[in-house]
C-alpha cells in the first residue's frame, strides 16, 4: 500500500496551494463579506486547469486522476469553500457525467469549453417537493417533433445563475416513475430557461444558489444525456462522484480549521503562557488532527477506488458522511479555541464554521449517506452494473 502522492498529484497540490496563497487569500475575506460572486477567481481556476481536472486531454481537459481532483479540492477548500463548491459542481456534477454518459458529439461540443472554464455548468435535480427523495421530481419533458419541451421548477442549484449549461433532470414517462426520468443538456440561453430567486445563505456566501424555472424550454433531441429513462440512475451515479468532491471540501475546511487553531493556540497567551500549553486545548487539537487525518484517508480511498474502476458508492457515502460530520466538530473546536475572537469576522474560523454547516446537507444529507451505506451493507448488491 502506497500512501505517497504521485509526482503529478504533488504538482497539482503545489499549484493549488500557490493559487490559494497568492490569489485567493487576498480576496476571499472581502468577497465573502460582501457576498460577491468570484468571477475572476473562477476564470483563473479554468486557466490553471481546475475546471475539468479529470476530463481526458483529447477533450481539452487536464487528464488527471480523481485523487488529483481531491487533492486540489482540499487545497482550494482550505482557502475558501465558496470557490471550491463552484469547482466541485463543475468537475463532479457536470464534466464527469458528460464524459461518462455523453455521446461523442456532446463530448466534442461541451467538454473543451467546460475544461477551460469558458463554459460553467450546473446540476438541476432538486425541486421544492423533491430533495432527499430525488426520484419524486415533477419537471416534465414532453417530446414534440425533433425537440423536448421542458416545464417545471428547480431549486438550490449551485452555479444556477452563472451557468451556461445545465444538466436538467425531468420526467419523460410518468407511468414508469423513477425509470421514466431522463437527463438533458440545456444551454441556459435557451428561451424558457429562467433564473429565479437566489438564496441568501448562512455560508458559502459568494457562491450562487438559484431557483430555475423551465417554461416551455425547447431542448433538441440530441441533447438527451444517455437514453430516455436513464436519468435517475445517471443522477445517482453522478452524485456518487460528487460526494467524493464534497468529502474533499469538508476535509479542506477541517484542515483549515486545524491550522488556524494551532497557530492561534501557540500565539495566544493567558495565565502567563501560550494556551497551547494547556491540556484542555491540546486534547481539542489532538482530536481535530486525528479526525482530519481519518477524513483524508477515507476520501482518498474512495477516489482511488473510483479511478481504479472499482465499486465505490458505499465508500464515497462513508467518506462524505464522516468528513462532513467531523468537519463540523472540528470547526466548533477551532472556534472554541479562539474564544470570543473566533465569533468575530476578523478570524477565518468564523467563516469556516458557517461554511462547514452545508457539508452535511448538500449532495445528500448525512441521513441519506447512512441510508446508502446501510442499503449496501444489507443488500450487498452493485446497482450501477448496467451503466457504461
Ligand atoms: N448509481 C447508479 N444507479 C443507482 C445508484 C447509484 N449509486 N443507486 C441506486 N441506483 C439505481 C437503482 O438500482 C434503481 O434502479 P432499478 O430500479 O433499475 O433497480 C434506481 O437507481 C432507483 O434506486 P432506489 O430505488 O434505491 O432509489 P430511491 O428512490 O430509494 O433513492 C436515494 C435513493 C439514495 C435516497 C436517492 O434519492 C438520493 O441519493 N437522494 C439524495 C439526493 C441528493 O443527494 N440530492 C443532492 C442534489 S445536488 C445538490 O446538493 C445541489 C448542488 O448543486 C451542489
Q: Is residue 2 part of a domain?
A: no
The model's pLDDT over 156-181, given as tens digits with 9 standing for 90+, comes to 999 999 999 999 999 999 999 999 99
Please indicate whether residue 123, judged by its CB atom, sits closer than 6 Å to ligand 1.
yes
Confirm if 242 and 314 have CB atoms less than 8 A apart: no
Instruction: For residue 222, give its domain range.
Output: 122-232
Q: Is 178 found in the same domain as 215?
A: yes
Domain's final residue, options 120, 141, 158:
120
Looking at the structure, tell me whether residues 381 and 276 fall in a common domain. yes
pLDDT number for residue 125: 98
Tell me what pLDDT residue 388 has.
Answer: 60
pLDDT at 310: 97
Per-residue pLDDT at 170: 98
Catalytically active residues are 363
156 lines ligand 1 (CB under 6 A): yes
Alpha carbon separation from 345 to 32, 96, 340, 351, 378 (Å, rounded): 10, 36, 11, 7, 46
Count of CB atoms situated within 10 Å of the CB of 371:
14
**So what's the pLDDT on residue 387?**
58
User: What pLDDT, on the 0 to 100 scale, is given for residue 382?
Assistant: 54
Beta-carbon neighbour count of residue 62 at 10 Å? 21
Q: How far is the CA of 211 from the centre of ligand 1 (A)?
A: 21
Same domain as 357, residue 227? no
| Co-location of 382 and 243 in the same domain | yes
Structure confidence at residue 384 (pLDDT): 52
Q: Is 237 in the pocket of ligand 1 (CB under 6 A)?
A: yes
Tens-digit pLDDT profile for residues 56-113: 999 999 999 999 999 999 999 999 999 999 999 999 999 999 999 999 999 999 999 9
CA of 152 to the centre of ligand 1 (A): 20
Same domain membership, residue 98 and residue 33 = yes
258 CA to centre of ligand 1 in angstroms: 34
Pick from 184, 212, 232: which residue ends a domain? 232
- 248 Cβ neighbours under 8 A, 6+ residues apart: 69, 70, 73, 74, 77, 88, 299, 303, 323
Q: What is the DSSP letter of 255?
A: H
- Residue spans of the chain under pLDDT 50: none
Tell me the C-alpha distance between 24 and 72, whole Å. Answer: 14
The domain total for the chain is: 3
Can you state the percent helix, strand and coil of the chain, rounding each to 5?
60, 15, 25
Positive or negative torsion for Cα 189, 100, 129, 360: negative
166/251 same-domain check: no
Q: What is the pLDDT of residue 103?
A: 98
**pLDDT tens figures, 291-313:** 999 999 999 999 999 999 999 99
Q: How far apart are CA 21 and CA 84, in angstroms?
A: 15
Beta bridge partners of 191: none
Mutate to test the pocket of ligand 1, among 84, 134, 373 (most ligand atoms within 8 A of CB): 134
The CA distances from residue 235 to 114, 137, 186, 218, 387, in Å, are 19, 12, 15, 21, 12
Amino acid at each position: 500500500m502506497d500512501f505517497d502522492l504521485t509526482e503529478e498529484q504533488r504538482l497539482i497540490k503545489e499549484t493549488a496551494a500557490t493559487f490559494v496563497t497568492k490569489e485567493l487569500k487576498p480576496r476571499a475575506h472581502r468577497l465573502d463579506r460582501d457576498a460577491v460572486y468570484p468571477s475572476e477567481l473562477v476564470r483563473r481556476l479554468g486557466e490553471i486547469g481546475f475546471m475539468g481536472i479529470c476530463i481526458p486531454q483529447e477533450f481539452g481537459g487536464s487528464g488527471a486522476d480523481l485523487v488529483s481532483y481531491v487533492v486540489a479540492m482540499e487545497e482550494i477548500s482550505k482557502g475558501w469553500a465558496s470557490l471550491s463548491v463552484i469547482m466541485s459542481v463543475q468537475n463532479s456534477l457536470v464534466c464527469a457525467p458528460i464524459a461518462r454518459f455523453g455521446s461523442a458529439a456532446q463530448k466534442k461540443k461541451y467538454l473543451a469549453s467546460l475544461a477551460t472554464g469558458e463554459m460553467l455548468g450546473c446540476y438541476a435535480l432538486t425541486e421544492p417537493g423533491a430533495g432527499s427523495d430525488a426520484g419524486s421530481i415533477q419537471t416534465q419533458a414532453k417530446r414534440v417533433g425533433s425537440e423536448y419541451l421542458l416545464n417545471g421548477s428547480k431549486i438550490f442549484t449551485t452555479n444556477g445563475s452563472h451557468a451556461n449549461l445545465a444538466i436538467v433532470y425531468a420526467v419523460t414517462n410518468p407511468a414508469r416513475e423513477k425509470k421514466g426520468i431522463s437527463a438533458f443538456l440545456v444551454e441556459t440561453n435557451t428561451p424558457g430557461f429562467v433564473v429565479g430567486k437566489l438564496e441568501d445563505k448562512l455560508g458559502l456566501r459568494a457562491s450562487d444558489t438559484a431557483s430555475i424555472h423551465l417554461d416551455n424550454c425547447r431542448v433538441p433531441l440530441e441533447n438527451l444525456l444517455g437514453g430516455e429513462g436513464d436519468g435517475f440512475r445517471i443522477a445517482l451515479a453522478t452524485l456518487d462522484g460528487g460526494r467524493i468532491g464534497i468529502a474533499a471540501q469538508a476535509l479542506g475546511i477541517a484542515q483549515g480549521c486545524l491550522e488556524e487553531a494551532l497557530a492561534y493556540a501557540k500565539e495566544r497567551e493567558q495565565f502567563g503562557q501560550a494556551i497551547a500549553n494547556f491540556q484542555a486545548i491540546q486534547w481539542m487539537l489532538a482530536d481535530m488532527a486525528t479526525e482530519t487525518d481519518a477524513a483524508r484517508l477515507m476520501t482518498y480511498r474512495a477516489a482511488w477506488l473510483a479511478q481504479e474502476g472499482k465499486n465505490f458508492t458505499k465508500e464515497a457515502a462513508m467518506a462524505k458522511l464522516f468528513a462532513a460530520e467531523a468537519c463540523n466538530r472540528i470547526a466548533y473546536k477551532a472556534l472554541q479555541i479562539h474564544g470570543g475572537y473566533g465569533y468575530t469576522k476578523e478570524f477565518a474560523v468564523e467563516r469556516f464554521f458557517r461554511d462547514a454547516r452545508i457539508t452535511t446537507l448538500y449532495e445528500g444529507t448525512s441521513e441519506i449517506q447512512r441510508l446508502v451505506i446501510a442499503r449496501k451493507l444489507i443488500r450487498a448488491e452493485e446497482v450501477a452494473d448496467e451503466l457504461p
